[in-house]
């Protein structure tokens, strides 16, 4: 049996398994590959998902922009070859101080391969801040930390555990603020949307499969 035949047989078996989801809904599989090794993975792994509706694999790589997308494509290919492909594939990364060329190249590679991007300019912590207030001013990472500490009522530290639970009651506000902020940058390239985040798009997708 050739490699291609084996691949397609595995894919057919996987497709059949997906058809037997919860209450007739197909089981979905997401791959979420993050720039950070802890902050983003811990946040997205905390979503209380209905495992009969959605299974999510979250990876924290320590890579960024273009190299992160390239690593994501490798993981995507390995999964597909094993017959366990994903319905949605996401990259989560920040603008940081990377060049516009790197950021734009990362987005183009993702687009070409149907990979979604949850991108924050300047940093992921902007998503946290939008749970409290609407901000349309460019902020530094140190300012994010200071402002989060003031609003949380305890010192914010990168890689803080439990941020999903801490912020959950304000999540709808964050989604509203994030959408509003993104609309102000209509027509701009991602690297020029200062500040902005599209993390809300991934959050909305995950919320579709929460435990009831």
Please provide the DSSP assignment of 176-202 as one string: HHHHHHHHTTTT--GGG-SSEE-HHHH
pLDDT number for residue 5: 52
pLDDT average, residue stretch 99-127: 95
Confidence of residue 55 (pLDDT cuts 50, 70, 90): very high
pLDDT number for residue 98: 85
Residue 41 above 70 pLDDT? yes
pLDDT number for residue 9: 47
Q: Which residues pair with 94 in a beta bridge?
A: 120
> Rounded mean pLDDT of the chain?
90
CA 87 to each of CA 27, 171, 200: distance values in angstroms, whole numbers, following the listed order:
9, 25, 18
pLDDT number for residue 16: 44
pLDDT number for residue 97: 77
Confidence of residue 96 (pLDDT cuts 50, 70, 90): confident
Give the number of residues written for the chain. 212
**pLDDT tens per residue across span 145-155:** 999 999 999 99
**pLDDT tens per residue across span 151-203:** 999 999 888 889 999 999 999 999 999 999 999 999 999 999 999 999 999 99
pLDDT number for residue 25: 72
Residue 103 above 50 pLDDT? yes
CB neighbourhood size of 200 (10 A): 21
Q: How far is CA 179 from the centre of its chain?
A: 15
Percent of the chain with pLDDT over 70: 89
pLDDT number for residue 134: 97
Rounded to the nearest 10 degrees, how much is the dihedral formed by the CA atoms of 191, 196, 199, 200? Answer: -140
**pLDDT tens per residue across span 3-28:** 455 444 455 445 544 445 556 678 99
């Amino acid at each position: 049996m050739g490699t291609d035949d084996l691949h397609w047989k595995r894919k057919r078996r996987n497709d059949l398994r997906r058809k037997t989801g919860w209450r007739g809904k197909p089981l979905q599989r997401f791959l979420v590959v993050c720039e950070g090794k802890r902050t983003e993975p811990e946040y997205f792994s905390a979503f209380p998902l209905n495992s009969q509706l959605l299974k999510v694999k979250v990876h924290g790589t320590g890579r960024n922009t273009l190299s992160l997308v390239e690593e994501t494509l490798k993981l995507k290919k390995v999964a597909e070859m094993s017959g366990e492909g994903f319905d949605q594939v996401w990259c989560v990364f920040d603008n940081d101080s990377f060049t516009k060329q790197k950021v734009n190249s990362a987005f183009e590679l993702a687009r070409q391969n149907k990979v979604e991007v949850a991108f924050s300019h300047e940093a992921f912590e902007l998503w946290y801040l939008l749970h409290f207030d609407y901000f349309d001013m460019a902020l530094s990472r140190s300012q994010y930390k200071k402002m989060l500490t003031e609003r949380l009522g305890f010192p914010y530290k990168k890689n803080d555990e439990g941020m999903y639970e801490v912020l959950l009651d304000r999540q709808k506000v964050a989604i509203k603020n994030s959408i509003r902020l993104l609309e102000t940058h209509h027509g701009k390239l991602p690297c020029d949307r200062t500040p902005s985040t599209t993390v809300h798009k991934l959050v909305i997708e995950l919320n579709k499969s929460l435990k009831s």
